[in-house]
């Protein structure tokens, strides 16, 4: 320590250090923002006072008292910027998905209540044997939404006796009929994009596995793009990008993953975002690799393949899941860095690699941090133990993402911001910085980012004025 600490200067020295360690990229609050920041502290205190001891280890949607708190209302209305990491068919919160499926008369669910899988009605609109039309099952309370929560979200994992990841991955199988279904995709995304826009999410990057033929893949993404254009008419600032994905679950899948990459490349070349006046832009911006890391091949197994195809398709950026692990030997983040990722999904265990940590900071590789998903899948049961706070304070580019709202039973981004506020002591300046980061590190092009940031700041200022007015601050 340079200076001598005395009784007289102790408080001053202490204040200096606190400020230095809380400073996030130097964002300074305006006077009106300081008022709202004080209000945020007050409603956070009120929320913690009324909450049970398990507030740090239960996801929000399971507690009605929390949902009715002023803090949760604040998070719900907060302008959130972009959600950069959310998976196809898992975008909608569970209860919204049930509502949407009730509107689609051709979905049926098994009647024996054993596998809880969805099927489509036959071509002559006949319900398959052993199944019941989904809308009828909900209308007649043959299935209730509360009952389905157990079978269609990770809530049921504990009772099932299987591991949470195994249970989680099976949820995709139960609803597999929704994927690759072109007519449904348009309906689904029309509903979902509007839902996101209403929740003050301005931009979304959907990670999607394109497993069928190249033509089917392109047709599916065109259906999604149609829904995007339609949403944009109502919400002009709203933008969407797609990230193709492959699997890393076992060695036989390297060829399968290569096929997914080539499908994604075909879509990138053929399906453009033509909604702006300034030329066509890539609608599909990059590629991802998914699956439970501790049970999959390490990322280095895919290095040869990825380096080869990346050379062929230089426009295809990498946004790969990495470091979503508690295994001390998992060093996928080293490979992610060597492969030149633009962002990394989760990056949870970066704290294990101090040299790599500074490389990520210096290269501005953004971490897509998914607090609720990390809790639900057992990586950080107590949100206070999540390393995101340290990443934020050290100047790392991070953005909050929701991962799989449908399967985690969480409200898209609202719950993630809520978790960050109660668990990591985020200030209003932090919330604003996270919103700005989510746009800055998105796959949008430079002029789109400028327009999106302008719209974000307008939404933000409107939000600040409303909170001040409503609460007489």
Residues of this chain that interact with Zn ion (CB under 5 A) are: 403
What CA–CA distance (Å, rounded) separates 288 from 286? 7
Considering the complex, state which of residue 217 and residue 373 has its C-beta at the smaller distance from Zn ion: 373
Measure the CA angle with vertex 222, ends 366 and 227; round to 5°. Answer: 80
Angle between helices 70-77 and 446-470 (to 10 degrees): 150
Q: Using CA of residue 445, residue 181, residue 318, residue 255, what is the dihedral sign?
A: negative
Q: Using CA of residue 215, residue 221, residue 224, residue 228, what is the dihedral sign?
A: negative
Considering the complex, state which of residue 106 and residue 403 has its C-beta at the smaller distance from Zn ion: 403
b/e per residue 288-312 (b: at least 16 CB within 10 A): bbbbbbeebbebebbeeebeebbee
Shortest distance, position 368 Cβ to Zn ion, whole Å? 8
- Where are any strands of DSSP class E within 180-316? 201-209, 239-247, 272-273, 281-282, 284-290
Taking CB atoms, the residue at the shortest distance from Zn ion is 403
Shortest distance, position 453 Cβ to Zn ion, whole Å? 25
Considering the complex, state which of residue 43 and residue 408 has its C-beta at the smaller distance from Zn ion: 408
Considering the complex, state which of residue 83 and residue 180 has its C-beta at the smaller distance from Zn ion: 83
Considering the complex, state which of residue 69 and residue 373 has its C-beta at the smaller distance from Zn ion: 373
Which one, of 362, 256, 270, 254, lies nearest residue 315 by Cα? Answer: 270
Shortest distance, position 272 Cβ to Zn ion, whole Å? 26
Considering the complex, state which of residue 85 and residue 259 has its C-beta at the smaller distance from Zn ion: 85
Shortest distance, position 130 Cβ to Zn ion, whole Å? 33
What CA–CA distance (Å, rounded) separates 68 from 48? 13
| 121 in Cβ contact with 106 (< 8 Å) | yes
Shortest distance, position 247 Cβ to Zn ion, whole Å? 12
Length of the chain in residues, anyone? Answer: 473
DSSP annotation of 26: T
Element (H, E) at 432: helix 428-440
Shortest distance, position 85 Cβ to Zn ion, whole Å? 6
Shortest distance, position 11 Cβ to Zn ion, whole Å? 45
Considering the complex, state which of residue 273 and residue 403 has its C-beta at the smaller distance from Zn ion: 403
Considering the complex, state which of residue 403 and residue 411 has its C-beta at the smaller distance from Zn ion: 403
Please count the CA atoms within 13 angstroms of the CA of 89 that sit on its side-chain side: 22
Shortest distance, position 373 Cβ to Zn ion, whole Å? 7
Shortest distance, position 282 Cβ to Zn ion, whole Å? 21
| Cα distances (angstroms) measured from residue 107 to each of 13, 170, 191, 271, 376 | 65, 19, 16, 29, 28
Whole-angstrom Cα Rg for the chain:
23
| Cα distances (angstroms) measured from residue 200 to each of 1, 78, 166, 457 | 46, 7, 33, 12
What CA–CA distance (Å, rounded) separates 420 from 81? 15
Considering the complex, state which of residue 403 and residue 430 has its C-beta at the smaller distance from Zn ion: 403
Element (H, E) at 280: none
Shortest distance, position 90 Cβ to Zn ion, whole Å? 9
Considering the complex, state which of residue 83 and residue 403 has its C-beta at the smaller distance from Zn ion: 403
Angle between helices 70-77 and 414-424 (to 10 degrees): 130
b/e per residue 70-86 (b: at least 16 CB within 10 A): ebbebbbebbbbbbbbb
Considering the complex, state which of residue 293 and residue 403 has its C-beta at the smaller distance from Zn ion: 403
Shortest distance, position 170 Cβ to Zn ion, whole Å? 16
């Amino acid at each position: 320590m340079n200076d001598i600490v005395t009784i007289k200067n102790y408080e001053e020295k202490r204040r200096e250090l606190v400020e230095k360690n809380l400073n996030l990229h130097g964002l300074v609050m305006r006077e009106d923002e300081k008022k709202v920041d004080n209000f945020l502290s007050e409603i956070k205190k009120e929320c913690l006072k009324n909450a049970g001891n398990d507030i740090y280890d239960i996801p929000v949607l399971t507690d009605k008292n929390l949902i009715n708190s002023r803090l949760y209302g604040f998070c719900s209305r907060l302008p959130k910027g972009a959600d950069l990491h959310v998976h196809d068919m898992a975008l909608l919160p569970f209860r919204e998905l049930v509502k949407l499926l009730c509107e689609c008369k051709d979905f049926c669910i098994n009647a024996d209540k054993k596998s809880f899988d969805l099927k489509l009605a036959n071509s002559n609109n006949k319900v398959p044997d052993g199944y019941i039309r989904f809308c009828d099952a909900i209308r007649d309370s043959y299935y209730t939404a509360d009952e389905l929560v157990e079978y269609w979200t990770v809530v049921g994992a504990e009772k099932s006796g299987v591991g949470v990841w195994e249970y989680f991955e099976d949820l995709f199988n139960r609803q597999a009929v929704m994927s690759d279904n072109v007519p449904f995709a348009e309906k689904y995304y029309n509903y979902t994009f509007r839902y996101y826009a209403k929740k003050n999410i301005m931009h979304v990057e959907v990670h999607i596995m394109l497993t069928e033929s190249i033509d089917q893949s392109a047709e599916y993404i065109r259906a999604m793009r149609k829904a995007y254009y339609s949403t944009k008419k109502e919400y002009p600032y709203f933008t969407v990008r797609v990230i193709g994905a492959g699997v890393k679950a076992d060695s036989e899948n390297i060829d399968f993953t290569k096929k997914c990459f080539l499908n994604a490349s075909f879509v990138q070349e053929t399906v453009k975002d033509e909604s702006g006046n300034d030329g066509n832009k890539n609608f599909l911006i990059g590629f991802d690799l998914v699956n439970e890391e501790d049970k999959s091949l390490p990322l280095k197994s895919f290095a040869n393949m990825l380096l080869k195809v990346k050379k062929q398709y230089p426009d295809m950026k990498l946004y790969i899941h990495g470091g979503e692990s508690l295994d001390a030997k998992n060093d996928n983040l080293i490979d992610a860095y060597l492969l030149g990722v633009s962002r990394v999904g989760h990056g949870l265990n970066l704290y294990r690699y101090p040299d790599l940590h500074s490389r990520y900071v210096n290269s501005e590789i953004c971490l897509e941090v998914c607090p609720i998903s990390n809790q639900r899948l057992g990586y950080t049961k107590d949100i206070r133990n999540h390393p995101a706070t340290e990443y934020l304070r050290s100047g790392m580019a991070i953005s909050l993402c929701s991962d799989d709202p449908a399967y985690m039973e969480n409200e898209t981004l609202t719950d993630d911001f809520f978790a960050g506020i109660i668990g990591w002591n985020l200030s209003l300046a932090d919330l604003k910085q996270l919103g700005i980061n989510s746009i800055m590190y998105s796959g949008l092009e430079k002029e789109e980012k400028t327009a999106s940031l302008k719209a974000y700041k307008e939404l933000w200022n409107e939000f600040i004025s409303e909170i001040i007015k409503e609460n007489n601050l």
